[in-house]
Structure 1
Amino acid sequence: MSSRFQEEVQKMKQRREQTIKQIAVFVEAEAKLRAPVDTGRLRNSITHQTENSETQSKAYIGTNVEYAPYVEFGVASKNIRPQPYLRPAIDENQDRIKEIIEKGMNVK
């Protein structure tokens, strides 16, 4: 393969890695806006991490707070209603996430 082709592949990979970081930061911020606040522990614990390989990039947004799943999904047996904050951060921002991808990857 030509070095020019390899350069372009590397540029595409860098754009992909930068784009996934932008999405992760955006979704983390949106989740924090939606997280219910009592002490602020849950909201402050929401973080992101990205993972990149030669062929794909992934973002993980979440928290290690032990009660987070109970807040997100609720507990019917304990009459705790769901207060989703992670899923809506993605679901309600599909168009914005798509824009970040299109801009970051220079596609339409």
Structure 2
Amino acid sequence: MARFRSRGRLSFRAEARQTINTRQYETGLRRVLGRMSDDVARAVDRTRIDVQNEARRRAPVKTGRLRSSIVSRAERSGRSVGYLVGTNVVYARAIEYGLDEFDIFPKNKKALYWPGARHPVAKVHHPGIEAQPYLRPAIEMTEIFFRANLSQIRGR
């Protein structure tokens, strides 16, 4: 779910949050290895990086600004370990969810004009933007990445 808000130095314009309930994994792994808190946290951190990279891979590229702006950070709250993946690019939400068609009207003048236009116009019709999801599909792969990262820990 994308939200707008500001948190410290990172201000996300589009973000996806994922929390992993690690209790069932931790219980089983604790029996095997005995030190699961650190290992599960490490698996979640690797998953965070995998999801971030997947979002970057899926992001449409025109200039590369959106792709390079996708970052992530770990979040811990008690026994829950999670992460946040997002971007602070203003148009990120429009790319993820698309835009319906709309008309653009002048704010301070009677007409719109730009270099290259044949003449001033009263309004411009924007056809909208088709959605090109990149964050949501990456987040949906969390369980796949997490299981793969846990199996690497088990295999050590």
TM over 0.5: yes
Q: Could you give the per-residue CA deviations for residues 26-79 of structure 1, whole angstroms, max 9, x where no partner exists?
A: 011111111001111100000110012331101111111111000000001342
Structure 1 regions of 5+ residues with no counterpart? 1-7
Match among 35, 59, 78 for residue 83 of structure 2: 59
Q: Could you tell me the TM-score, scaled by structure 1's length? A: 0.77
Determine helix, strand or coil for the equivalent of 1:37.
coil
* Structure in which a larger fraction of residues adopt strand: 2
- Kept after mapping to 2: 8 A contact 1:17/1:52: no
Distance 2:141 2:44 in 1: 18
Identity, in percent, stands at 35
**Residue 30 (structure 1) aligned with residue 79 (structure 2):** no
Give 3-state SS (helix, strand or coil) of 2:73's partner. Answer: strand
Alpha-carbon RMSD across the aligned residues, in angstroms, is 2.1
TM-score scaled by length of structure 2: 0.55
Larger radius of gyration: 2
From the two aligned structures, give the one with the greater helix fraction. Answer: 1
Does the 8 Å CA contact 2:47/2:142 hold for their aligned counterparts?
A: no
Structure 2 unpaired stretches of 5+: 1-33, 103-127
Query: How far apart in 2 are the matches of 1:58 and 1:93?
Result: 11
Q: 1:77–1:97: structure 2 CA closer, same or farther, 3 Å change rule?
A: farther
